[in-house]
Structure 1
C-alpha cells in the first residue's frame, strides 16, 4: 500500500511540474496581457466541459451499448481508435477555406482520414477474427483433454 502512495505522489508531482512548465512557457513566449489569459482560461474551461460533459458520457454510453456485441473488445478498441483519429483530424478537415499560403494545410485531409479509418476497420476486423480463431482453438483443446 505504501508503494502505491509513493507512486501516486510521484505522478502528481510530475503532473504539477508539467503544468508549471506549461504556464512558464506561455508567459515567457507570448508575454500575455489580461485578455490573453482570460481567453486561455475560457478555452481550458470549454475543453473541460467538452471532455467531461460530452465526450466521456458518449464514450461510456457507446461502450455500454456494444458490451454484449460479438467481439466487443475489438469493436470497442476500433471505435476508440476511430474516434481519436477523427478528433485529431477534425481541425484540418474543417479549416476555413483556402489560405494565401499554399503550404499551409496542403493535403487532402478528408481523403487521408477516410484511408486511415479504412485501415482501422480492417485492423479491427483482423483482431476480431484472430480472437475468434484463438478462442475456437482453445475451446477445442479444452474439450479434447480427458
Structure 2
C-alpha cells in the first residue's frame, strides 16, 4: 500500500510540474519553492528546535500548555500571513477593509492571556492539593 501511495504521489507531483512548466511564470514558481525550502530549513526548523530545547526543563503539564499556546499562535500567524503580506492596495477599498495587524496582535494577546489564566489555575489547584507539610 505504501508503494502504491508513493507512486501515486510521485505521479501527481510530475503532473503538477508539467502543468507549471507550461505556464510563463514557471521560473517564479521555482524561485518561490527554493525560497520556501531555505525559509523552512534556515529559519523555521532551527527556531522550533531551539524552542523544544528551552521547553525541555519544564514539567510535562507546563510543557503541554506552552506547546499548545505556541501551536495556536503559530496557526493564527499562518492564517493572517497572506493578508499581512498582501500587495499594494487594490482599486476596491472594501477588499481588505480591516486593520489585520491589530487584529492579529489582539488575537495573540488573547491566546497568551488564556494560557496565563490556565497556567495560574493549574498552579493554584496543584498547591491546594499538596499535603500541608510540603507547603512553603
TM class, shorter-chain normalised? 0.5 to 0.7
**Which of 19, 29, 39 is residue 40 of structure 1 equivalent to?**
29
**Which of 107, 115, 118 is residue 116 of structure 1 equivalent to?**
107
Shift of 1:26: 8.1
Equivalenced residues, count: 129
The DSSP-based 3-state class of the residue aligned with 1:101 is coil
Q: Which runs of 5+ in 2 are unaligned?
A: 132-136
The DSSP-based 3-state class of the residue aligned with 1:132 is helix
- Equivalence map 1:1-146=2 (5 Å): 9=2, 13=5, 16-17=8-9, 20=12, 23-24=15-16, 27=19, 32-33=22-23, 35-69=24-58, 71-132=62-123, 135-136=126-127
Deviations 1:8-32 (A, max 9, x none): x17x8179549717945982xx883
86-95 or 44-53: which moved more?
A: 86-95
Q: CA RMSD of the aligned region, Å?
A: 3.5
TM-score, normalization: structure 1?
A: 0.64
TM-score, normalization: structure 2?
A: 0.68
